[in-house]
Amino acid sequence: MDKKQRKPLTRRLIQVYTALLYNAYLKGFAEGQIYTGPLKSVCVPGLNCYSCPGAISACPLGSLQNAVSASADRPAFYVAGLIIMFGMFLGRVVCGFLCPFGLIQELLHKIPSPKIKKNNITRKLSWCKYVILAVFVIAIPAFYAVRRLPLPAFCKFICPAGTLEGAVMLLIHPANSDLREMTGGLFWWKFTVMILILTACVFVFRAFCRFLCPLGALYSLFAKIALLGVRVDLPKCTDCGACVKYCPVDIRKVGDRECVQCGNCIDVCPEKAISFKAGKLVLRGPDINPAGGEEHT
């Protein structure tokens, strides 16, 4: 399909509106301060740093690490329940539609450059995010929780969204000269990690989501049972493989744990077997026009 003939990108608009909604505390950007009101005790479904000056609520991943860090005194039922609820209703639709850092990665991938397509190595790397989930989000915070030392290890040592949306946004504000004086080795470590990840995203589609994001790893556990998602009508499917070939991430089949539920493959299927569903209700079916989805460039 000619690029000019493509319909307006509804998904892109939802991503942009979501990022704006998550970060609607404009006063925070103006004053270089973070919002600390009552909404901050609630999590949004996507990765969005608590310390972003505009953030109106908490990040589920940061909240989970803090809850695990405090689990010696109180069980992490609230955050775990919230993430399970997001997973059961939305699954990785959160990744495709409701994650500001997913949007940033997709925009970076539009920068003209050679692109590295999925291959056997990227498929193997896609397992790394489960290791990061187990080690940095669960094991290290739990280990230190026993010693009453809170250590949200993923936020502290890795999270590029936290560095970009939180640390950098606060540090560049003129009112925060005292914060700039306090930056040390840990900040520069995280800044380097962020630059490496953002650079990788220029060449590799959603490199952070696919290889590193523990929140995507968590939501992927709900791929088979989530209410919302991209589904294949099996009686119509001829197993031609066009969808898997077209998809830029490391899927084995549409809607599996690696699928970020973008829906871009819907218009690629020659049998019109793919649709976006909520339970049995079809929310978006294939175009009547000839096949051709959004390009991943």
Interface contacts to ligand SF4, rule CB under 6 A = 230, 232, 237-243, 247, 249, 251, 254, 259-265, 269, 271, 273-274
To ligand SF4, the closest distance from the beta carbon of 222 in angstroms equals 14
Q: Which is nearer to ligand SF4, 112 or 241 (CB)?
A: 241
Nearer to ligand SF4, 190 or 206 (CB): 206
Q: Is 69 helix (H, G, I), strand (E, B) or coil?
A: helix
DSSP 111-180: SSS------HHHHHHTTHHHHHIIIIIIIHHHHHHHTT----HHHHHT-HHIIIIIIIHHHTSGGGHHHH
Closest approach of Cβ 160 to ligand SF4, in Å?
21
Crossing angle (nearest 10°) for helices 185-203 and 100-109 = 60
Nearer to ligand SF4, 190 or 210 (CB): 210
Q: Rounded CA gap, 98 and 160, in Å? A: 17
Cβ at position 294, least distance to ligand SF4 in Å: 9
Please state the closest distance from residue 251 (CB atom) to ligand SF4, in A. Answer: 5
For residue 206, the minimal CB distance to ligand SF4 (Å) is 9
Q: Which long-range contacts (CB under 8 A, 24 or more apart) does 187-190 make?
A: 189/157, 190/157, 190/158, 190/159, 190/160, 190/162, 190/163
Q: How far apart are CA 103 and CA 86, in angstroms?
A: 19
When the beta carbons of 59 and 260 are compared against ligand SF4, the nearer one is 260
Residue 183 or residue 238: which is nearer to ligand SF4 going by CB? 238
CB of 265 to ligand SF4, least distance (A): 3
Q: For ligand SF4, give the closer residue by CB, 40 or 123.
A: 123
Query: Could you count the other beta carbons within 10 Å of the beta carbon of residue 136?
Result: 23
| Alpha-carbon span 11 to 18, nearest angstrom | 10
Q: Are 9 and 97 in contact (CB under 8 A)?
A: no
Say how many C-beta atoms besides its own lie within 10 A of residue 260's C-beta. 28
Quote the least distance from Cβ 278 to ligand SF4, whole Å. 15
Nearest to 152 by CA among 160, 144, 127, 1: 144
Q: Which is nearer to ligand SF4, 190 or 257 (CB)?
A: 257
Of 75, 84, 80, residue with least CA distance to 63: 80
